[in-house]
Amino acid sequence: MKKVDLHMHTCASDGTWDVEELKEQLIKSNINIFSITDHDCVDNVKNMENIITPSDNLIFIPGTELTTEYDGREYHLTLYNYDINNKGLMDLINWSNQSKLNSNKEYIGTYAADKYDSISLEDFEKYEYDRKRGGWKSANYMIDKGIHKDVLNHLQEVKESGLKAKLKGPDEVIGIAKKSGGKLFLAHPSYHYRNTTMPEEELKFWLEAGIDGIECFSPYNKDEAQYYIDFCKKNNLMISGGSDCHGNFIPSRKLGVPHAELSDLNIKKLFN
């Protein structure tokens, strides 16, 4: 039995663990095959590769979680075994991160600064926080200023502001990802459908857009994994699974939950 978790985050994006802490937790959780999928980030890929030893009994598959927008909503695509030196992919990652930062600055400088006397863009740009706290700069800034009580409160007000980052569409993101040599999966497909499943028509859109697989085992999918597995088998797609663990930032998401073993998945092409 080989336990698999192909979706997790470190302090390089919005998680709380560094690679040493993550490795320790993986071993404690008896996970054998794993990937780091930081949001639009590959900073901890080589760091993890450098600390794994044969005695750890761990197989590491380099990953990242790319961001795209479709039909006015944000979607995430996990990419594995890409060329980390691929210029197109690195340019995409840098562009996405800069767009998110610009959106955060716009929210702080135009919306929040007008609404709250203690908030200013100048103060925000000087602000620093411990990355191992998890989350992201604008959320932690507004929490530390005593304006927002938690991340959910922050997200709600950002939504009310009507401001959001500009993101590249699926065709461009998937095209760039494919050219990097990696395999691309639709992450947590039930994210926008919390009480149901992603409609088959939308799954077909992602299939035609060029994904290689679907993250069928996910906390968001609840008991609907088989629905996505059946779609993958019918359409010759790979089958993956992951916890979307963020360390202590989102305590409810535990490594290895939902449980997935190598025999439950179809990820042979990730080992080629």
Predicted local confidence at residue 180, as pLDDT: 98
The per-residue pLDDT for 194 is 84
Cα–Cα distance between 214 and 217 in angstroms, integer? 9
Q: What predicted TM-score, i.e. pTM, was given to this entire model? A: 0.97
Beta-bridge partners for 63: 80
Q: Give the model's pLDDT for residue 195.
A: 84
Contact in structure between 93 and 42 (CB atoms under 8 Å): yes
pLDDT tens digit at each of 272 positions of the chain: 899 999 999 999 999 999 999 999 999 999 999 999 999 999 999 999 999 999 999 999 999 999 999 999 999 999 999 999 999 999 999 999 999 999 999 999 999 999 999 999 999 999 999 999 999 999 999 999 999 999 999 999 999 999 999 999 999 999 999 999 999 999 999 999 988 999 999 999 999 999 999 999 999 998 999 999 999 999 999 999 999 999 999 999 999 999 999 999 999 999 97
What is the per-residue pLDDT for 254? 97
Q: How far is the C-alpha of 181 from the C-alpha of 81, rounded, in Å?
A: 7
Residue 272 has a pLDDT of 74
